[in-house]
Chains A and B, each alone.
Chain A
Amino acid sequence: MMWRVAIRNVLRHRLRTGFSVAALAIAVALLADMLMLSTGMEKTFNRVLSSVGYEVRVCPAGTLPFGTDAVIAESARVERALAGDARVARTLRVYGTTLYADSLPVVAMGIAGERQSLYRIIEGGDIDAASPPRAGRVPVVLNANAAAELGVAVGDTLRLEATAPGAALAFSGGATVLVTGIMDIDFDLPGQRTLVAPLAMVQRLRPTAPDAASFVLAKLRTEDGDDPLAPAPAADQRGVAAGIEAAFPELSAYSMDALMLALQRQLAYFKQFATILSTISLFITFLLIAVLLTIGVGERRGEIAALRSMGFGQRSIRGMVLAESIVLLAMGAVIGAGLGWLLAGYLDRILTQSPSLPDGYRFFIPEWREIVLAVIISGASGIAAALLPAIQAARVDIPRTLHEEVV
């Protein structure tokens, strides 16, 4: 009966209940979305970083992969040091720079290493699978953007240069390369043209330090030797990274968790924003329930006094008011859950328009865990807000209230 009374009390005034539930639903939805935001980028980073299968990244000291133009000199030494560690299964050296393919600037990555998992071949073959190679033609793979803009397909050739067209030395140092495959990589920015070539070729076209590489990747051995992407134990990752840093003080080596920690700086803004807005959402929920119930109890003092005079105990009256808050919260939560899910997609579409964000990155990853957590937290906030009005209702001065109601 208490629930029946609570539900009917709430539905007594449909218009105001409608508005209250709408406000609650938006608060719950915002809270759910902020919980998603606080974890979304991190999950995306984790997913993308894990998807390439390398657990240790070695870069010039104080830098992150793709973060600066700094290079590791004599990268082969670093690679040998990694290969000498029994925990390391394979390595990949990567040298990123800008080259010109048929006069169009492309982000070029020179790689050296076996069984790379940095990118996926979606058409044709990889640069180490060019068989049989055409004489004098170095194999390269392109991303779909580059292939489309250059108007080339698998089997076509390109002119690769170090300098822009029109420069005085335009025709010295370049090479004609063979497109052996089209690839897809998770780190491409929208519209980016990417080309992957053998490391030696890129080093020749863009000489900087001897045997330069932007970073070196290492895949560690796991018990599940068949899965190239299965992560190695965190302790092994940290051990390998520490060993490299000890041997090469001018370098920084990151395990997966160390890399995530280093990336926190980029996530800091959104995490704090999410915290602030979550707090505000909870506050709105608290305020709304507190105000609604306080005024609601106030307008029903006569009823409450009558119930008390009939023999309803203080506990029953408190229970009735709390039940009312739960009914309101439940209605708000159901609508808020759905709204939060929809809003997550909408807000994500806004943020992922950022030109500096690779395709496939997400700020909001809708998951029921966050929705349920938002409902629970909002519910707790609302019930806490209902406590005072419930206590006040139970303590209503019966004779005075009955007298005032008559007057």
Chain B
Amino acid sequence: MASEFIIQAESIGKTYRVGSSDVEAIRGFSLAVARGEFVSLMGPSGCGKSTLLNLFGCIDTPSSGTLRVFGNDASTLSDGQRTALRLRRIGFVFQRFYLMPMLTAFENVELPMIEAKVPRHERRERAESLLARVGLGHRLGHRPHQLSGGEMQRTAIARALANQPDLIIADEPTGELDRRTGASILALIHELQSGGLTVVMATHDPHAAELGNRVIQMETT
């Protein structure tokens, strides 16, 4: 049963040192995310949504409590082990896209596969197929500044799927987009999740939250 849960958080907390004082971003949070679930985290600014996503995505480690990601105790993993998890099993979608401006859409999607040492032929095929899947098969050679906001986020989603992850972490994926474009992005994410991916998403948008299996309402500490 335990292996059905991608994420298992038990009373986790996260405290940051800011200057000379400590700031408690999260306190006593518990959550289990099953494989294939779509969980939305909602709450006001400063409630710790992004902090939680950072913890689930193994970008950061909890200050207290126990967090297991893919069965691994996140607190005991080395930086290299967490990096490897992020490379091969987790895909990130950011509010600000974070595409490499000097690379084309195709090359941006290729990038994580190169780091994962996927053979050239295979990664090229996969990059083309992913971009086609997100509706950008005709924009392979375009650089980010030649794409619209929605197209950039679609490229970022294709990149997040490059190494065939089990988990997608999306932090306000529609934050920089207009309502209509945002809706199409959410629809894409929902479609991917329907295909078996696990998604944890932070959002302000109640309509976005409704797409998920579960909505977690968070409050400031």
The residues of A with any CB-CB pair to B shorter than 8 Å are 1, 4-5, 8-9, 11-12, 302-303, 305-314, 316, 398-399, 402-403, 405-406
* Chain B residues within an 8 Å CB radius of A311: 83-88, 90, 112, 115-116, 163
Give residues 42-100 of B contacting A (CB, 8 Å).
Answer: 50-51, 54, 57, 59-60, 79-80, 83-88, 90, 92, 94-96, 98, 100
Contact yes or no, B112 A406, CB < 8 A? no
Q: Which of B51, B80, B115, B116 contacts A399 (CB 8 A)?
A: B51
* Chain B residues within an 8 Å CB radius of A307: 111
* Chain B residues within an 8 Å CB radius of A316: 115
B51 to chain A, nearest CB (A): 7
Contact yes or no, B80 A313, CB < 8 A? yes
Q: How many A-B residue pairs have CB under 8 A?
A: 78
A263 to chain B, nearest CB (A): 55
* Chain B residues within an 8 Å CB radius of A8: 102-103
A313 nearest in chain B by CB position: B83
How long is the Cα–Cα vector from A387 to B111 in the complex, in angstroms?
Answer: 23
Q: Quick check: is B110 within 8 A (CB to CB) of the other chain?
A: yes
A310 to chain B, nearest CB (A): 5
Contact yes or no, A406 B96, CB < 8 A? yes
A299 to chain B, nearest CB (A): 11
B172 nearest in chain A by CB position: A406
* Chain A residues within an 8 Å CB radius of B96: 302, 405-406
Most buried by B among A9, A303, A305, A311: A311
Most buried by B among A306, A310, A399: A310
A7 to chain B, nearest CB (A): 9
B171 to chain A, nearest CB (A): 8
* Chain B residues within an 8 Å CB radius of A406: 50, 95-96, 172
Q: Quick check: is B114 within 8 A (CB to CB) of the other chain?
A: yes
B111 nearest in chain A by CB position: A1
Most buried by B among A11, A312, A398, A403: A312
How long is the Cα–Cα vector from A72 to B85 in the complex, in angstroms?
Answer: 88
Q: Which of A11, A306, A312, A405 contacts B87 (CB 8 A)?
A: A312
Contact yes or no, A312 B54, CB < 8 A? no
Residue-wise, chain B 92-132 has the 8 Å CB interface mask toward A (1 for contact) of 10111010111100010011101110000000000000000
Q: Which of B50, B83, B85 contacts A403 (CB 8 A)?
A: B50
How long is the Cα–Cα vector from A307 to B99 in the complex, in angstroms?
Answer: 9
* Chain B residues within an 8 Å CB radius of A399: 50-51, 54, 59-60
How long is the Cα–Cα vector from A406 to B94 in the complex, in angstroms?
Answer: 10
* Chain A residues within an 8 Å CB radius of B85: 311
Contact yes or no, B100 A1, CB < 8 A? no
Q: Quick check: is B154 within 8 A (CB to CB) of the other chain?
A: no
* Chain A residues within an 8 Å CB radius of B90: 311
| List of 9 A-B pairs having minimum Cβ-Cβ separation, nearest first | A311-B87, A306-B98, A8-B102, A311-B86, A399-B54, A1-B114, A399-B60, A398-B59, A313-B83
B97 nearest in chain A by CB position: A306
Q: Which of B79, B98, B112, B171 contacts A303 (CB 8 A)?
A: B98
* Chain B residues within an 8 Å CB radius of A314: 79, 83
* Chain A residues within an 8 Å CB radius of B111: 1, 307, 310
How long is the Cα–Cα vector from A5 to B107 in the complex, in angstroms?
Answer: 10
How long is the Cα–Cα vector from A314 to B85 in the complex, in angstroms?
Answer: 14
Contact yes or no, A1 B102, CB < 8 A? no
Assuming the contacts A1-B110, A310-B111, A313-B80, asked whether A398 and B60 have C-beta atoms less than 8 A apart, the reply is: yes
* Chain A residues within an 8 Å CB radius of B87: 310-312
How long is the Cα–Cα vector from A381 to B16 in the complex, in angstroms?
Answer: 38
B89 to chain A, nearest CB (A): 9
* Chain A residues within an 8 Å CB radius of B171: 402
How long is the Cα–Cα vector from A291 to B186 in the complex, in angstroms?
Answer: 42
How long is the Cα–Cα vector from A307 to B92 in the complex, in angstroms?
Answer: 10
A293 to chain B, nearest CB (A): 16
How long is the Cα–Cα vector from A352 to B157 in the complex, in angstroms?
Answer: 67
A374 to chain B, nearest CB (A): 30
* Chain B residues within an 8 Å CB radius of A12: 101-102
* Chain B residues within an 8 Å CB radius of A5: 100, 102-103
B51 nearest in chain A by CB position: A399
How long is the Cα–Cα vector from A8 to B107 in the complex, in angstroms?
Answer: 12
Complex A-B: 24 CB contacts under 8 Å: A1-B111, A1-B114, A303-B98, A303-B101, A306-B94, A308-B59, A308-B83, A309-B59, A311-B84, A311-B86, A311-B90, A311-B112, A312-B83, A312-B112, A313-B115, A314-B79, A316-B115, A398-B54, A399-B51, A399-B60, A402-B59, A402-B94, A403-B50, A406-B50
B79 nearest in chain A by CB position: A314
Give residues 148-186 of B contacting A (CB, 8 Å).
Answer: 159, 163, 171-172
How long is the Cα–Cα vector from A11 to B102 in the complex, in angstroms?
Answer: 9
A11 to chain B, nearest CB (A): 8
How long is the Cα–Cα vector from A305 to B96 in the complex, in angstroms?
Answer: 12
How long is the Cα–Cα vector from A279 to B100 in the complex, in angstroms?
Answer: 38
Contact yes or no, B159 A310, CB < 8 A? yes
A9 nearest in chain B by CB position: B102
How long is the Cα–Cα vector from A310 to B113 in the complex, in angstroms?
Answer: 10
Assuming the contacts A302-B96, A303-B100, asked whether A312 and B115 have C-beta atoms less than 8 A apart, the reply is: yes
How long is the Cα–Cα vector from A241 to B150 in the complex, in angstroms?
Answer: 88
How long is the Cα–Cα vector from A405 to B85 in the complex, in angstroms?
Answer: 24
